[in-house]
């Protein structure tokens, strides 16, 4: 039996571009037959607008975690729900997916949004995390040294952007990077377009990292909107 997992999912209320509430997203993915979802809300300046810009880091992280927590609670044990993040650094418009950290990691590192890809890569490796570039060949993205990455999202299922997944796959293969797929879920008609397939359940970060390091099969779903 193969289990289907989403690795790139945003929620309304945390990700500024998210259009679907966590409770609604949980129902969509459950009905779509996914065994689990990794909630990867945006971690960048847009996540903390207006009054949040000068809020204490602890308050910002409570806000950031709220999407994951609500998604998990709405799933109510019917799916495995974990959390990651899609982080962006000040130097450019690149986005990176991070897996394997816990809440304590976030609270302990209030400087992560001011880092760059090199310094964050070192921090991730010190803490045993996996660090992937999201949609690495979308318009406006800067090519980075692959030595800083563990992997790439080589199948991005967002139907409103040209991800050039074929180029991402070729690049990842050239440099021996791990590969994942994700829906990049924002809109109510664009869930479940990608993910991974594995014969192992993923119920915690240790299991998630083990599956990702095993290079699971990438799931390519139906794009509901072109």
Residue tagged 């009905």 (tokens) = 31
Instruction: State the total domains in the chain.
Output: 1
Structure tokens at 41: 């809300």
What's the rounded Cα separation, in Å, for the pair 88 and 211? 25
Residue 225 resides in a domain: no
Beta strands in the chain (DSSP E): 3-9, 36-39, 42-43, 80-83, 85-87, 96-99, 130-133, 151-156, 178-182, 194-198, 217-220
pLDDT at 225 over 60: no
Those residues with Cβ within 8 angstroms of residue 108's Cβ, 6 or more apart along the chain or in another chain: none
Residue 200 resides in a domain: yes
Q: 29 near 6, Cβ under 8 Å?
A: yes
Q: What is the pLDDT of residue 226?
A: 39
Q: What is the pLDDT of residue 223?
A: 60
Q: If you write DSSP's letter for every residue of 9-74 in order, what string do you get?
A: E--BTTBTT--S-HHHHHHHHHHHT-SEEEE--EESGGGS-GGGGGS-HHHHHHHHHHHHHHHHHH
Residue 226 resides in a domain: no
The 10s digit of each residue's pLDDT in 138-194 is 999 999 999 999 999 999 999 888 999 999 999 999 999 999 999 999 999 889 999
| Higher pLDDT among residues 113 and 222, named by residue | 113
pLDDT at 1 over 80: yes
Name the phi and psi angles at 71, rounded to 5.
-60, -45
The 10s digit of each residue's pLDDT in 57-83 is 999 999 999 999 999 999 999 999 999
Q: What is the pLDDT of residue 50?
A: 84
**Of the candidates 19, 76, 62, which has an alpha carbon nearest to the alpha carbon of residue 190?**
19
What's the rounded Cα separation, in Å, for the pair 144 and 149? 9
Q: What is the pLDDT of residue 222?
A: 72
Those residues with Cβ within 8 angstroms of residue 52's Cβ, 6 or more apart along the chain or in another chain: 59, 60, 63
Residue 7 resides in a domain: yes
The 10s digit of each residue's pLDDT in 115-129 is 999 999 999 999 999
What's the rounded Cα separation, in Å, for the pair 75 and 70? 9
Q: What is the pLDDT of residue 53?
A: 87
Model confidence band, residue 98 (pLDDT cutoffs 50, 70, 90): very high
Query: Cα angle vertex 135, ends 122, 104, to 5°?
Result: 40
The 10s digit of each residue's pLDDT in 23-57 is 999 999 999 999 999 999 999 989 998 888 899 99
pLDDT at 219 over 80: yes
**Helices and strands: H and E segment counts in the chain:** 6, 11
- Residue 208 sits in a domain whose CATH number is 3.20.20.140
User: Three-class SS of residue 102?
Assistant: coil
Residue 59 resides in a domain: yes
Q: Domain span at residue 159?
A: 3-220
């Amino acid at each position: 039996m193969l289990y289907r997992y989403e690795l790139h999912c945003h929620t309304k209320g945390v990700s500024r571009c998210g259009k679907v509430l966590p409770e609604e997203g949980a129902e969509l993915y459950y009905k779509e037959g996914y065994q689990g979802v990794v909630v990867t809300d945006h971690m960048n300046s847009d996540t903390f607008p207006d009054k949040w810009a000068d809020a204490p880091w602890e308050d910002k992280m409570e806000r950031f975690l709220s999407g994951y927590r609500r998604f998990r609670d709405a799933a109510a044990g019917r799916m495995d729900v974990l959390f990651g993040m899609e982080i962006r650094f000040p130097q450019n418009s690149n986005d990176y997916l991070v897996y394997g950290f816990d809440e304590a990691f976030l609270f302990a590192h209030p400087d992560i949004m001011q880092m760059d890809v090199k310094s964050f890569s070192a921090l991730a490796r010190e803490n045993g995390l996996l660090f992937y570039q999201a949609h690495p060949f979308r318009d406006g993205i800067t090519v980075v040294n692959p030595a800083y990455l563990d992997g790439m999202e080589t199948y991005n299922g967002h139907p409103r952007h040209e991800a050039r997944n074929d180029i991402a796959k070729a690049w990842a293969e050239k440099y021996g990077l791990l590969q994942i797929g994700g829906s990049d879920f924002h809109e109510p008609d664009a869930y479940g377009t990608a993910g991974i397939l594995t014969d192992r359940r993923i119920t915690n970060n240790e299991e998630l990292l083990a599956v990702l390091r095993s290079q699971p099969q990438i799931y390519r779903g139906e794009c509901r909107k072109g």
